[in-house]
Amino acid sequence: MEKRRRSRSPGRKGGAGKKAVHEVPRPGDKSSLTGQPYSKRFFEILEKRAKLPCWALREEAVRMVAESQSSVLIGETGSGKTTQVPQFLLEAGYASGGKAIAVTQPRRVAAMSVASRVAQEMDVELGQEVGYLIRFEDVTSDKTVLKYMTDGMLLRECMSDPMMSNYSVVVLDEAHERTLSTDILFGLLKEVLVKRSDLRCLVMSATLEAEKFQEYWDSAPLLRVPGRMFSVETFFSLKPQKDYVETAVETCSLIHVNEGPGDILLFLCGEEEIETACAQLEHEFGERGDLMVLPLYSSLPMQQQRRVFPPAPEGKRKVIVATNIAETSLTIDGIVYVVDPGFFKQSVYNPRTHVESLLVSPISKASAMQRAGRAGRTRPGKCFRLYTKDAFETELPESTHPEILRSNLSSVVITLKKLGVEDLVHFDFMEPPSPESMMRALEMLHFLGAVDDECELTEIGTHMAEFPVDPHLSRSLIAAGCRGCIEETLAIIAMLSVPPPFQRPRWNPKAADKAHRVFASGLGDHLSLLGTFCRFGSAESQKDFCQEHYLSERSMKQAENIARQLRGICQKRGLTRKAAAPDGGSLTLAVRKSLVEGFFMQTAYIESGGKHYITVRDQQAVNIHPASFLQHKPEWVLYNETVVTDRCYMRNVTAVAPEMLIEAAPRWFHPDTCKFAEQARKSLERALPRVKK
Ligand code: CDP
Ligand code: MG
């Protein structure tokens, strides 16, 4: 056990010429990775790194990993878990023999930002020795030895490499977030560890669920990094708040005017709220020039995200308005005041109604403690909770519900199947999902033809699992392969996978609407998205095109990027453009038919009064979203998703013909057997003779 000995060796004497982990580079030393002398900045950062709580425990951490296949490390946010510990492992020689160290992050932003920071700390170029991998973006190279990646991407890699043979250590970071992918990785890693005695797994987490992780990992050793927290004085609201965004902005203003120096961190739920609050604060203090208002959310461009880290100039105060991401994933130094309205956005899936919604939900007590903790990292701070003490005690759950217990499991099931997990019911989940939601997911995959009667993956299912998109979308893409419209369908999927590109500025919504109208297809949103994508692709100046048409250039570029990657997967799987529109119809017809094959369960018919639609799956009343390009009300529509606001809306809607439905899913839509309302049944009956046999 070379590694173990090395980590114990007493400084420069030990390890026969090999570097001990606690050997700190000195000016003039050359980087063993690049062979170049370290820069001045390297030593400046090194000084700061050496003060982080994790630094003092670097030998213990390395030793723990060497001595036990799986171990757990717990430490306060900001103690250096994510940025430092993987570097210690690297220095201890773990990334040798062509293997790398993987560090998973639940959030894309965190993976990017942390990788960028660590590349700086190590004096290397991002994407070389240190890189990141997130969905649709691979910033790594052959040289990469330290790879920050989203947990979802590691899961994806496991599909083609179930033994995780590229890695010597897998660090599952931010484990307390209990994302779907991390929870599945837990189970998979446990199995791989048995088969690969050289592999190491380190679970890192911020909160106090240590015992739970330890127990799951068969009494793995635990290292607690002692915090270096200052006291945080907490204030509660005296009465419940009606509009928490407004109250939050007021609270920030009061802090800025009345309190001593120190930056403010305000937690809100998502881009819209954050931009509103930022605009108000700018409006109020913009002229004084002593407040820097900085938003932070995941769809913000990387450069803007980076602006939150450097300290404010002398005499100025930063106020950072962030989503949950600032709770534990990203550490911003200098925060002294925290404003916590007590909400976050989480996606909740209801397996009975099949509706997945992003809901503003109360945070947990554990989250509230974490948020408050952000105020006391560098000196004593204050936390202003915009809810009452009573609400804290009685309404907030103890900890956040793991994602696996509130998700649509169809992607999970197809992934596990592809990973060769035979027995889904006995898979070692830390918290197993309900058998009902598993069954629902299998049922849906069966309808899509992804699994057979024995619940084994079919050929279609095997193809589908390769695409990092929802099973409905991958099914449509495979259908498109047979209909000569793969290029068009992958463009649509790419457009559906990015934040909506259609901008509607508050100061000029009418002009934006008018500009968007040129993209409208009478058949609905999917084809309108395709039109937008194509016109953007052939525009002379994409920048001007976006400006003229009120489009987000970033979303459009991202869509192009995603289309490129999907195209790559199609080519790899041998799904390429065959003869154009083989069934003699138009291309748009072929596209719609392909979509129906993936989405026939997400269709609806107009009820007899013509007011709203009824979904075929659960007979729910729904409406076409007001932002839809579909301006008339066709008899049958398919939709990408439903969203619940004041009413239940279908978003991204396309008109379909009843014969397409019968053709795609004869058992669902046969007029003799379907359970739809009379006029829907009649419509299918009329269409029946038109269906091609
Ligand atoms: O993972 P953990 O919350 O324990 O801490 P970390 O993300 O490793 O951050 C450790 C320290 O690195 C922070 O306190 C910051 O001082 C610094 N850091 C930074 O300056 N810029 C970043 N993008 C990330 C971290
Ligand atoms: Mg971290």
Indicate the top mutation candidate among 51, 57, 58, 83 to test ligand 1's pocket, ranked by most ligand atoms within 8 A of CB: 83
Distance 484 CA to ligand 1 centre (A): 49
Distance 279 CA to ligand 1 centre (A): 28
CA angle 61, 65, 66 (to 5 degrees): 115
Which ligand has its closest atom nearest to the C-alpha of 308? 1
pLDDT for 255: 97
Q: Taking a C-beta distance cutoff of 8 angstroms, is the pair 473, 563 a contact?
A: no
Question: What is the b/e burial string over 644-679, where b = at least 16 CB atoms within 10 angstroms of the residue's CB?
Answer: eeeebbbbbbbbbbbbbbbbbbeebbebeebebeee
Q: Is the CB of 374 under 6 A from ligand 1?
A: no
pLDDT for 11: 36
Q: Is the CB of 407 under 6 A from ligand 1?
A: no
Q: Taking a C-beta distance cutoff of 8 angstroms, is the pair 341, 387 a contact?
A: yes
Distance 374 CA to ligand 2 centre (A): 13
Which ligand has its closest atom nearest to the C-alpha of 177? 2
Q: Is the CB of 117 under 6 A from ligand 1?
A: yes
Residue with the nearest Cα to atom 18 of ligand 1?
331
Q: Are strands 317-322 and 291-296 parallel, antiparallel or unpaired?
A: parallel
Q: Is the CB of 53 under 6 A from ligand 1?
A: no
- Gyration radius of the chain's alpha carbons: 27
pLDDT for 584: 57
- 497-532 pLDDT, tens per residue? 888 899 988 888 999 999 999 999 999 999 999 999
Q: Taking a C-beta distance cutoff of 8 angstroms, is the pair 116, 82 a contact?
A: no
Averaged pLDDT, 442-463: 93
Residues 389, 163: Cα–Cα separation, whole Å: 49
Distance 511 CA to ligand 1 centre (A): 44
- 116-160 pLDDT, tens per residue? 999 999 999 999 999 999 988 899 999 999 999 999 999 989 988
pLDDT for 614: 96
Q: Is the CB of 79 under 6 A from ligand 1?
A: yes
Q: Is the CB of 113 under 6 A from ligand 1?
A: yes
Residue 76 alpha carbon, nearest atom of ligand 1: 4
Indicate the top mutation candidate among 76, 107, 117 to test ligand 1's pocket, ranked by most ligand atoms within 8 A of CB: 117
Residue carrying the six token digits 């990469």? 144
Residues 315, 309: Cα–Cα separation, whole Å: 17
Distance 173 CA to ligand 2 centre (A): 7
Q: Is the CB of 83 under 6 A from ligand 1?
A: yes
Q: Is the CB of 80 under 6 A from ligand 1?
A: yes
In terms of average pLDDT, the best of 372-381, 425-434, 656-665 is 656-665
Provide, rounded to the nearest whole percent, the portion of the chain with pLDDT above 70: 94
Distance 370 CA to ligand 2 centre (A): 13
Residues 536, 531: Cα–Cα separation, whole Å: 8
Q: Is the CB of 78 under 6 A from ligand 1?
A: yes
pLDDT interval class at 680 (50, 70, 90): very high
Q: Is the CB of 334 under 6 A from ligand 1?
A: no
Distance 500 CA to ligand 1 centre (A): 32
Distance 144 CA to ligand 1 centre (A): 21
Distance 170 CA to ligand 2 centre (A): 15
Residue 309 alpha carbon, nearest atom of ligand 1: 21
CA 202 to chain centre: 21
User: What mean pLDDT, rounded, does the chain reach?
Assistant: 89
Please give the biggest Cα pair distance in the chain: 88
Q: Is the CB of 305 under 6 A from ligand 1?
A: no
Evaluate if residue 388 carries a pLDDT over 60. yes
Residue with the nearest Cα to atom 13 of ligand 1?
78
Token pair listed for 503? 């901008």
Evaluate if residue 7 carries a pLDDT over 50. no
Distance 401 CA to ligand 1 centre (A): 26
Q: What is the pTM of this model?
A: 0.83
Query: Exposed, middle or buried by CB within 10 Å (0-12, 13-18, 19+), for 12?
Result: exposed
Residue 77 alpha carbon, nearest atom of ligand 1: 3
Evaluate if residue 312 carries a pLDDT over 60. yes
pLDDT for 75: 92
Write out 30-99 in H/E/C secondary structure: ECCCCCCECCHHHHHHHHHHCCCHHHHCHHHHHHHHHHCCEEEEEECCCCCHHHHHHHHHHHCCCCCCCC
- 180-231 pLDDT, tens per residue? 899 999 999 999 999 999 999 999 998 657 778 888 988 899 999 987 678 9
Distance 158 CA to ligand 1 centre (A): 28
Residues 652, 523: Cα–Cα separation, whole Å: 11
Distance 457 CA to ligand 2 centre (A): 37
CA 83 to chain centre: 20
pLDDT for 472: 94
pLDDT interval class at 577 (50, 70, 90): low
Residues 169, 148: Cα–Cα separation, whole Å: 12
Q: How far apart are the first and last CA of the chain?
A: 67
Sequence length of the chain is 693
Residue 54 alpha carbon, nearest atom of ligand 1: 4
CA nearest neighbour of 361 among 349, 348, 344, 340: 344
Write out 600-618 in H/E/C secondary structure: CCCEEEECCCCCCEEECCC
Residue 198 vs residues 91, 350, 384: alpha-carbon distances, Å: 17, 41, 48
Distance 111 CA to ligand 2 centre (A): 10
CA angle 635, 638, 588 (to 5 degrees): 90
Residues 18, 28: Cα–Cα separation, whole Å: 18
Residue 332 alpha carbon, nearest atom of ligand 1: 15
CA 180 to chain centre: 10
Backbone phi and psi for residue 229, each to the nearest 5 degrees, phi listed first: -95, 145
Q: Taking a C-beta distance cutoff of 8 angstroms, is the pair 545, 539 a contact?
A: yes
pLDDT for 24: 84
Evaluate if residue 6 carries a pLDDT over 60. no
CA nearest neighbour of 185 among 464, 429, 413: 429
Residue with the nearest Cα to atom 22 of ligand 1?
117
pLDDT for 15: 35
Q: Is the CB of 329 under 6 A from ligand 1?
A: no
Residue with the nearest Cα to atom 16 of ligand 1?
333
Q: Which residue has the higher pLDDT, 352 or 33?
A: 33
Indicate the top mutation candidate among 118, 176, 331, 333 to test ligand 1's pocket, ranked by most ligand atoms within 8 A of CB: 331
Evaluate if residue 8 carries a pLDDT over 50. no
Distance 206 CA to ligand 1 centre (A): 13
Q: Is the CB of 205 under 6 A from ligand 1?
A: no
CA 87 to chain centre: 25
CA angle 212, 94, 67 (to 5 degrees): 50
Averaged pLDDT, 260-285: 94
Distance 170 CA to ligand 1 centre (A): 20
CA 553 to chain centre: 21
Q: Taking a C-beta distance cutoff of 8 angstroms, is the pair 683, 669 a contact?
A: no
Token pair listed for 224? 């607690």
Which ligand has its closest atom nearest to the C-alpha of 88? 1
Half-sphere exposure of 113 (CA within 13 A, CB side): 24
Distance 94 CA to ligand 1 centre (A): 22
CA nearest neighbour of 104 among 165, 186, 196, 33: 186
Q: Is the CB of 400 under 6 A from ligand 1?
A: no
Q: Is the CB of 86 under 6 A from ligand 1?
A: no
Q: Is the CB of 634 under 6 A from ligand 1?
A: no
Residue with the nearest Cα to atom 20 of ligand 1?
309
Token pair listed for 79? 């103690």
Token pair listed for 381? 């701070």
- ipTM at complex level: 0.98
Q: In this structure, what is the dihedral angle of CA atoms 100, 104, 105, 111, given to the nearest 10 degrees?
A: 20
